[in-house]
Structure 1
Amino acid sequence: MRGRSELRRIGALFSPYRKPLGSVLALIALSAGLSMIPPFLLREILDQAIPERDTGLLTWLVVGMIAIAIATGALGVAQTYLSNIVGQEVMHDLRAAVYRHLQRLSLAFFTRTRTGEVQARIASDIGGIQSVVTSTATSIVSNATTVLATIGAMFALDWRLAAFSLAVLPFFVWMTRRVGGERRKITAARQGRVADMSSLVEESLSVSGILLGRTMGRGEELVQRFTAESRELAELEVRSRMAGRWRMASVQMSFAIMPALVYWFAGQTSAISVGTLVAFTTLQTRLLFPIGSLLSVSVDLQSSMALFHRIFEYLDLPVDLEESREPVELRDVRGEVRFEGVTFGYDADARPTLDGVDLDVPAGSFTAIVGETGSGKTTLAYLAARLYDVGAGRVTIDGVDVREASFASLARTVGLVSQDTYLFHATVRENLRFARPEATDEELEDAARAAQIHDLIASLPEGYETTVGERGYRFSGGEKQRIAIARVVLRNPPILVLDEATSALDTETERAVQDALDALAAGRTTIAIAHRLSTVRDADQIVVLDGGRIVERGTHEELLERGGRYTALQAAQREDAAQQGEEATA
């Protein structure tokens, strides 16, 4: 059942291109019809024109054979051109559909899936079916049409020879189906190895992977792991190529033997002329290539079905972040954010990360969220940007449930500066313009000044045309963070989410980044996830999370007076700082 369903889905990929496919089919039928004429002309040459010395008839017959050969060649070129256009359009549609679908998934999918696995599905798996969608589909029709036309011509020449020649065809079909099943299993295993190897390359040959491998002295082990993966892939490739080769060789050998058997069979009767016999064996020879192609195509299709199955697996992943059917455009946003009975968990079977959280963030205020690692701080802030959907309750912006807001207006409304800054391997200017492609150079520079990074960029030999390197490794952590801040400044969102944006920086760099963040937060609703409590002393309210619940809230002074969880966190940080100071002195 699954195979039929997948075949229907594959067929649906071609449905938008019915007209060009119709043209291809017409060309195939015309070409197949023309190619059946030369054997009959050959029979006339051998049985009439040459024995009777009729040079006029011989000339016309030869000219006809030449003209048909030229016309068939031209039709073949046109057919190949059209079929490749259709095939590449289908490839484009499939790649775009997978990429678009992945863009609609929540962060949960990407946190549990290796990047190399995703890359393998888009590049390797879709690339592996290219021959199927660009040429195999039309090749099947073309070869099938040729086979049917040839068989018809063979019966027209002599039904006895045709019946004798085709008696073994069902055996070939049965044999090919067995080969295809073997190839499909091997292909599924091979693509799994390709994904594993892609993940290893992506992880170990990134800047971070190289640094980790060398500093941990594990470079040789990584080489051995890659070598082992490559060896397994090579063995699977050999198995895939050799699957059923002896059976296919038997088919080809049988076709090579058949003409001799036809001569023997024809010799048993005097009713078959030499011209008919030569024309028949010519048709029989022409039958070898299309039937061989159909048999091998059947095997290749079985292999490709494994690739299609892997692609459809991604397309069938449930979209857990759907835009509302009638989305609300967030306009003139004041910036009031409310969490109303919010419960959320990454795993339905585990204890929820957030449990019944109620929180009001007034417009234009600065709210800090603090707590120990795993208390749900980042999750709470990410729900405001709708990077996940709540399990229960709701999150609203100016009274509008974020699930009802359009994705575009929500992205304009909520800006995120995370601890793990990501920069594309592009120029500084291109990284900044990712936030707002239509921004002018002057606006870019103003944003960089606000983030206190313009002077540094301007001092570089290539200025804003400087390539940042993979993940921005040409810049320090603080510089990357300020570029990211400039990117958010350029977008100018009314609500700002700061995800421990300075926790990994040294004191001096933290001060520079914090100044940039303070300038960015001015006049905006700010939700800051704080690791260093010293950065949130001036917050309008500080929310303390513990085990996914709010256990305290208030200003810095109010929470210290209570002597509760916030005070304990302060004491623990002072103790850690004092211990680090002693270690540094020692």
Structure 2
Amino acid sequence: MRRSSPVTESAATPRQHGDWAILRQLAPYFWQYRTRVVLALLCLVAAKVANLGVPLLLKHLVDAMNLPASDPRALLVVPAGLLLGYAALRLSASLFTELRELVFAKATHGASREIALQVFRHMHALSLRFHLERQTGGMTRDIERGTRALQSLISYSLYTILPTLVELGLALALLGGKFDMGFVWITLGALVGYGIFTISLTEWRTQFRRKMNELDSKAHQRAVDALLNYETVKYFNNEDFEARRYDEGLDAYRRAQITSQTTLSVLNVGQQAIIALSLLAMLWRATAGVVAGHLTLGDLVLINTLLIQLYIPLNFLGVLYREVKQSLTDLDKMFTLMGREREVADAPEARPLQLQGAAVRFEAVDFAYDPARPILKGLSFDIPAGQTVAVVGASGAGKSTLARLLYRFYDVQGGRITIDGQDIRQVTQDSLRKAIGIVPQDTVLFNDTIAYNIAYGRPDATPAEVEAVARAARIHDFIVAQPKGYDTMVGERGLKLSGGEKQRVAIARTLLKNPPILVFDEATSALDSANERAIQAELASAARGRTTLVIAHRLSTVVDAHEILVMEAGQVVERGTHAALLARAGAYARMWALQHSSTRPAATEKNTHGHQVA
């Protein structure tokens, strides 16, 4: 079979997308809510028309107050009617604004939920290589900021920027139609100058904000890493060292914040200067019109109120533009994660695995995590249906890699792996992994109850089934001895349990899964000798009639295997039964003699609280 080189998700340089490209990626998520989008836009226009009617009504109210006292309209009718209309317009503007937010809320939160779920699924779809190389703290920060950025982007664009543009268009039409084009040109000149200044300066400031975010993620990543490795930090008295590393990150972040704030102050001062000059020019022209007699006091009030309504949201345009740009940057990071190609993906014609006994075969398999360091070299062996094959050898021989390849966490670069004659690259990963159960050497548990962690092997299992496999894994007595029994919390990564207790939970949940193919990767390595012998019998019973791969260092755990493979440097150097390999007096016999050269006392397990565990 043609040899291929490994491809990693992390090897690809993350590419930055343009703003319009990011918006195009968002469009499909909102297309399903298109009716609500249209209704929200109609509410937006209605709110702005009502808002623009407020200064117009205020103008008429001021002009009405200039009527002669003898005019009966001046007494009550006109002012009262105008005041009621003024109040109604104010209420209408607020009503349509709230209605717009209510109508569009489902679209905003629905799209946010869908994107977050898609990112979550994609992270699980990426290969083990990506997750081994990732920086958890920084990645979770990017995802968190990305999902929050979507709501911020909608809030700023639909609820602030777009309404301001609509109001601006209506205001310019009103100024040009009711007064003269001089007011329009002054307003447009100010807006163009304001926009150019704001956008250019904000674009320049984006580099500082991006650097600030990177430093924030780095500091957060260091903190998370240190907390996840709490015990290691304590073992080596490195609390002060970790605090200094974290402080270095916080100090770099502080300096970036100061730089960002300084440039923000320059931006704000420049914006205020442009607004002040345009207001001065507009009011000067309006005042001159009143003095000349072709404008009324109501017109002056109208222009003044209109400009105030216009410039208040415009005053925050710099902040809004910056936040929109930042939201787009955060979304870009999240979409970059979503855009990472899967190293291991289902073939287009992949079909569910069809089991006919679950015979496993490795055929001339070549594999390397790094091309410069081959792990497996032309490895071939069979595990006949219903039989147990054990693999032994020194650390680094490639034993645990066999389980990872069988689970298809990685794809082979030469040869193939088959189950009942089906190349595992041609079947769906979901059906493949449903057929395999594993008890790993390094058991990691969820920060939940013991019952939850056991039932993870089959989430729909009944409490009685959970208890049955706990008894089989010899952990039931320990569980019921706890104050909360099966509802006992195991802590972050299961740290409240000893290594042996965690391994027995792993055995129980694999027994609950009840798959046709079993992999025991040092399944009893954390157990004392007495418990190992007891559980070994349970594992042998569980393996009966199933295709089983046993990876072990302790040779005493594999003596009953149908075949034992001895691996060195990624190749099988010996194979046979326990008795045959001893009789051959080769590598296996030397390993057996070395492990039994002295009698080791049975160790007593202790959990993290120092209590002995039987």
State if a TM-score over 0.5 links the two structures.
yes
By how many angstroms is 1:144 displaced?
Answer: 1.3
Which runs of structure 2 are paired with 1:414-429 in the superposition (5 Å)? 414-429=436-451
Match of 1:139? 160
Q: Would the aligned equivalents of 2:149 and 2:331 in 1 still touch at CA under 8 Å?
A: no
Match of 2:491? 469
Distance in structure 2 (CA, Å) of the matches to 1:242 and 1:510: 65
Residue from 457, 460, 465 that aligns with 1:443: 465
Greater mean alpha carbon deviation, residues 532-541 or residues 177-186: 177-186
Amino acid at match of 2:321: S
By how many angstroms is 1:99 displaced?
Answer: 0.8
By how many angstroms is 1:224 displaced?
Answer: 1.7
By how many angstroms is 1:463 displaced?
Answer: 1.6
Distance in structure 2 (CA, Å) of the matches to 1:14 and 1:240: 33
Distance in structure 2 (CA, Å) of the matches to 1:380 and 1:292: 63
By how many angstroms is 1:75 displaced?
Answer: 0.9
Q: Would the aligned equivalents of 1:157 and 1:280 in 2 still touch at CA under 8 Å?
A: no
Match of 1:379? 401
Mark the CA change 1:264 to 1:188 in structure 2 (over 3 Å): closer, same or farther. Answer: closer
Q: Would the aligned equivalents of 2:55 and 2:305 in 1 still touch at CA under 8 Å?
A: yes
Residue from 117, 126, 135 that aligns with 2:138: 117
Give the aligned CA root-mean-square deviation in angstroms.
Answer: 2.4
By how many angstroms is 1:330 displaced?
Answer: 3.5
Which runs of structure 2 are paired with 1:16-165 in the superposition (5 Å)? 16-48=32-64, 50-52=66-68, 53=71, 54-55=73-74, 56-158=77-179, 159-165=181-187
Distance in structure 2 (CA, Å) of the matches to 1:238 and 1:509: 60
Q: Would the aligned equivalents of 1:83 and 1:134 in 2 still touch at CA under 8 Å?
A: no
Q: Secondary structure at the match of 2:316?
A: helix
Which runs of structure 2 are paired with 1:83-482 in the superposition (5 Å)? 83-158=104-179, 159-206=181-228, 209-269=229-289, 270=292, 271-330=294-353, 333-347=356-370, 349-482=371-504
Match of 2:604? none
Distance in structure 1 (CA, Å) of the matches to 2:595 and 2:217: 43
Greater mean alpha carbon deviation, residues 35-44 or residues 418-427: 35-44
Return 5+ residue gaps in structure 1 as ranges: 582-586
How many pairs were matched up?
576
Q: Deviations over 1:112-153 (max 9, x none)?
A: 112223322222443355412344344222121112112222
Distance in structure 2 (CA, Å) of the matches to 1:239 and 1:23: 42
By how many angstroms is 1:169 displaced?
Answer: 2.0
Amino acid at match of 1:9: Q
Greater mean alpha carbon deviation, residues 375-384 or residues 330-339: 330-339
By how many angstroms is 1:257 displaced?
Answer: 4.6
Residue from 542, 550, 553 that aligns with 1:528: 550
Distance in structure 2 (CA, Å) of the matches to 1:431 and 1:37: 63
Q: Would the aligned equivalents of 1:84 and 1:134 in 2 still touch at CA under 8 Å?
A: no
Amino acid at match of 1:157: K
Amino acid at match of 2:504: R
Q: Secondary structure at the match of 1:346?
A: coil
Distance in structure 2 (CA, Å) of the matches to 1:402 and 1:66: 72
Distance in structure 1 (CA, Å) of the matches to 2:187 and 2:481: 82
By how many angstroms is 1:479 displaced?
Answer: 1.6
Mark the CA change 1:328 to 1:262 in structure 2 (over 3 Å): closer, same or farther. Answer: closer
Return 5+ residue gaps in structure 2 as ranges: 1-15, 602-614
Q: Secondary structure at the match of 1:63?
A: helix
Amino acid at match of 1:2: H
Q: Deviations over 1:160-183 (max 9, x none)?
A: 223233322222111111232234
Q: Deviations over 1:289-345 (max 9, x none)?
A: 232233322121222232122112211111122234454334555121011222222
Greater mean alpha carbon deviation, residues 402-411 or residues 146-155: 402-411
Q: Deviations over 1:78-116 (max 9, x none)?
A: 112233332222221221111110111111111111222
Which runs of structure 2 are paired with 1:513-524 in the superposition (5 Å)? 513-524=535-546
Percentage identity across aligned positions?
32
Mark the CA change 1:531 to 1:78 in structure 2 (over 3 Å): closer, same or farther. Answer: same
Q: Deviations over 1:10-46 (max 9, x none)?
A: 3444333212111111111111112112222223233
Q: Deviations over 1:380-426 (max 9, x none)?
A: 12211222222232211122222233333323210010011111111
By how many angstroms is 1:268 displaced?
Answer: 4.4
Mark the CA change 1:397 to 1:228 in structure 2 (over 3 Å): closer, same or farther. Answer: same
Mark the CA change 1:226 to 1:540 in structure 2 (over 3 Å): closer, same or farther. Answer: same
Q: Would the aligned equivalents of 1:47 and 1:275 in 2 still touch at CA under 8 Å?
A: yes
Match of 1:10? 26
Greater mean alpha carbon deviation, residues 269-278 or residues 46-55: 46-55
Match of 2:610? none
By how many angstroms is 1:500 displaced?
Answer: 1.6
Amino acid at match of 2:44: I
More helix by share: 1
By how many angstroms is 1:482 displaced?
Answer: 0.9
Amino acid at match of 1:31: A
Q: Would the aligned equivalents of 1:425 and 1:467 in 2 still touch at CA under 8 Å?
A: yes
Match of 1:493? 515
Greater mean alpha carbon deviation, residues 163-172 or residues 564-573: 564-573
- Per the normalisation by structure 2, the TM-score is 0.88
- Per the normalisation by structure 1, the TM-score is 0.92
Match of 1:550? 572
By how many angstroms is 1:574 displaced?
Answer: 4.8
Distance in structure 1 (CA, Å) of the matches to 2:583 and 2:134: 45
Distance in structure 1 (CA, Å) of the matches to 2:158 and 2:372: 48
